[in-house]
Chain A
Amino acid sequence: MARKITIEPVTRVEGHGKVTIQLDPHNNVIDSRFHIVEFRGFERFVQGRPYWEAPVLVQRLCGICPVSHHLAAAKAMDVIVGVGPNGLSPTAEKMRRLMHYGQMFQSHALHFFHLVSPDLLFGIDADPSIRNVIGVAIKHPDLAVQGVMMRKFGQEIIKVTAGKKIHGTGAIPGGINKNLSIAERDEFLKGADPLNVKKMIEWSLAAVNLFKDYHKKNKDFIDNFAAFPSNHLSLVRKDGALDLYHGVLRAVDAEGKKILNDVDYQDYLKYIGEEVRSWSYMKFPYIKSLGKKDGWYRVGPLARLNTVDFIPTKLAQKEFEEFKAYTKGKPNNMSMHMHWARLIELLHSAEVIEELLNDPDLQKDELVRKGKKVKEGVGLIEAPRGTLFHHYRINDNDQIEMANLIVSTTNNNEPMNRAVNWVAVNQLSGKKEITEGMLNAVEVAIRAYDPCLSCATHALGKMPLSVSLVDADGNVIDKKEK
């Protein structure tokens, strides 16, 4: 009897994921699909609202990375108010950068300590009652405390730059609404251990080393699990450096050949298309010059380290050189190396935060600039999970009449499907029994991309994931919830 393994949401909430693995009567994988019920109502929701509200409104989309949406919308509005992406005052741009790198730092720290470290420390097929953040707290309390404090540090940076805990108002069209006081700065520079930037850099470096140590002992798993060639896309600084806040759009293929050669992202529609497939609500973006079949790409930490030429901070650059040397300078197509790349970015973010905190521009008073208004603007940012596109057009009454968003998880739609398929074919096919460890392997592949699945609401009763085993007649044989 053919059967189907389904990992699906139990509620209707937008943004939840579902994995379906179709097996034949001999348990061989016939097909696999990763569905995310993407919420597409936002574009309609903002229509008719004044453009200056967008940076605050967009935070309704996501309680996980509101800062990314806030800044991407603000960047688009910079264009609309005629300041342009490069015309902010130094204080405004650096305050936004501090906000953004604070977010990147806390998000990457959370991902590693909360989600990835249990798999690495206990193994992906370990008892799930141990393989979790509580297990880490029991067996490796120092590491768990580091995770907590790194998150807290990043959150505090966001709080002083965004201005509010909920629906921050820090970035406004053409600038920022506050600078950083000396007292606020000194909290981060000279705060009591461990909540200071020096300690954050030290711990970030330790996290990179923890991964490298694990990699040495588990080369086969880390190098081969869900590895497949792909194109890679991200923003890069004009000189080729890693820049998570601003730059030009670059894409390389699996061999490192440039597909998009540092193009202006205001023209992204010339280069990026979005394919609709009947079985998924989420679109599949692709690079137009390569077509729908071959134009899909990865975004996120791995893609970024594959597109950039260097990292402009000392310690992260040293790690980057080691990372690049591992693949002899070629793009790295190993999904599990996403964690390595993410930790190098964690270190880089901590170093950038230190640089910014020592920059006197953050205490200056030119917060906002004005220019000649235009009707349309695009804002791109490298969010923790990858490139985030915001595109708006306004009418004569200053109301938004069109919005288009391509979020990081949408950009990674095809790669996540490929990763799930790799696990299905290589680890599930032909097996007589589907164990919890095997199902976790599917999740490990998805987790590498840290997709944004449940951004909108978190009310009690909304379970993020359930796992169902369904036979060919549609009967649920087994069901697990997470």
Chain B
Amino acid sequence: MKHKRCIVIGYGNPGRQDDALGIEFALRVEKDKHLSMLCDVHYDYQLNIEDSLTISEYEIVVFVDASLDGEQPFAFERISPSLKISFTTHSLSAESLLALCEELYRKSPIAYMLAIRGYEWNLGSEMTSEAAENLLKAFRYFNRFVSNGFCESEVTCSRGVLFH
């Protein structure tokens, strides 16, 4: 199967209010006529070791997650392979996944983390209105990023992080 140039990986628990941000973002990309022609989409509760194989097949990877205390409305930054190992099977960072991809498949996709700020994490499928607004802003930004040939240079601040 021929892959697109970019894959968007959204993750989180959609049953936990704003933790749904990553998955909601991925679903919007999947439904968008323009973006879905240029990006494949994957979503899950969390990142998993087998995702290292998936990302090895793309040139660009955009991870999308909710952020607990990050910048508002969102931050978009380049990330690199790095060792961040948890002591349980319950979490794997995007950076660790990139490191695993590099070691196992000798591939180093260009990777970004789109961290959309969330506020409430209780049981329930209702996202807060603030988080929904942040999602919208992040989505608009991503649209420009893709239209710009997957280049963030026009809209990125000096630290490599975009704050809207």
Interface residues of A (CB under 8 A from B): 11, 13, 41-42, 45, 57, 59-61, 63-64, 66, 107, 110-111, 113-115, 128-129, 132-134, 137-138, 141, 144-145, 147-149, 151-152, 155, 165-167, 443, 446-447, 450-462, 464-465, 482
Contacts and interface: CB of A to CB of B under 8 A. Distances in A.
Given A459-B67, A461-B69, 15 more contacts: A41-B123, A60-B15, A61-B15, A63-B44, A133-B85, A133-B100, A148-B52, A148-B104, A166-B43, A166-B45, A454-B91, A459-B68, A460-B113, A464-B88, A465-B86
Nearest to B22: A459
B15 A167 contact: yes
Nearest to B93: A460
A129 B82 CA distance: 11
30 contacts: A41-B123, A60-B13, A60-B15, A60-B123, A61-B15, A64-B89, A66-B45, A114-B49, A114-B89, A114-B92, A129-B83, A133-B49, A133-B85, A134-B85, A134-B96, A138-B103, A141-B104, A155-B48, A155-B50, A166-B43, A455-B90, A456-B16, A458-B11, A458-B65, A458-B90, A458-B91, A459-B121, A460-B66, A461-B70, A464-B86
B14 A166 contact: yes
Given A166-B23, A456-B121, A149 B66 contact: no
Interface residues of B, number: 46
Main DSSP-derived SS at the B contact region? loop
A456 to B, nearest CB: 6
Contact of A137 (B88, B104, B122): B104
A129 B69 CA distance: 27
B46 A64 contact: yes
Given A110-B89, A460-B67, A461-B69, A45 B123 contact: yes
A151 B48 contact: yes
Interface in B46-105: 46, 48-50, 52-53, 65-70, 83, 85-92, 96, 99-100, 103-104
Contacts of B152: none
Contacts of B100: 133-134, 137, 144, 148
Nearest to A56: B15
B118 interface: yes
A460 B91 contact: no
Contact of A457 (B12, B48, B70): B12
Given A110-B49, A454-B91, A457-B121, A165 B44 contact: yes
Nearest to A155: B50
B89 A460 contact: no
Given A453-B88, A455-B90, A151 B46 contact: no
Contact of B16 (A60, A113, A134, A443): A60
A460 B70 contact: yes
A66 B44 CA distance: 11
Nearest to A453: B88
A114 B50 CA distance: 11
Q: Which 7 A-B pairs have the closest CB atoms?
A: A60-B15, A63-B45, A461-B68, A137-B103, A152-B50, A132-B85, A459-B66
B85 A63 contact: no
Given A41-B122, A166-B43, A456-B16, A11 B68 contact: yes
B121 A111 contact: no
A456 B100 CA distance: 25
Contacts of A11: 68
Contacts of B91: 454, 458, 464
Contacts of B13: 60, 63, 456-458
Contacts of B118: 459
Contacts of A128: 85
Interface of B: 11-16, 18-19, 23, 43-46, 48-50, 52-53, 65-70, 83, 85-92, 96, 99-100, 103-104, 113, 115, 118, 121-125
Given A42-B123, A155-B50, A458 B45 contact: yes
B90 A453 contact: yes
Given A137-B103, A148-B52, A152-B50, A482 B85 contact: yes
Question: Which one of A41, A114, A452 has the greatest number of beta carbons of chain B within 10 Å?
Answer: A114
B90 A454 contact: yes
A152 B70 contact: no
Nearest to A116: B89
Nearest to B122: A41
A149 to B, nearest CB: 7
B65 to A, nearest CB: 5
A458 B19 contact: yes
A456 B91 CA distance: 11
A59 B14 CA distance: 10
Contacts of A451: 88
A454 B88 contact: yes
Nearest to A145: B104
Given A113-B49, A134-B103, A148-B53, A464 B90 contact: yes
Given A60-B16, A462-B68, A141 B103 contact: yes
B85 to A, nearest CB: 4
A425 B53 CA distance: 43
Question: Which one of B11, B91, B115 has the greatest number of beta carbons of chain A within 10 Å?
Answer: B91
Contacts of B89: 64, 107, 110-111, 114-115, 450
Contacts of B67: 459-461
A457 B49 contact: no
Contacts of A41: 122-123
Contacts of A464: 86-88, 90-91
Contacts of A141: 103-104
Contacts of B65: 458-460
B48 A144 contact: no
B45 A151 contact: no
Given A148-B104, A151-B50, A152-B53, A450 B88 contact: yes
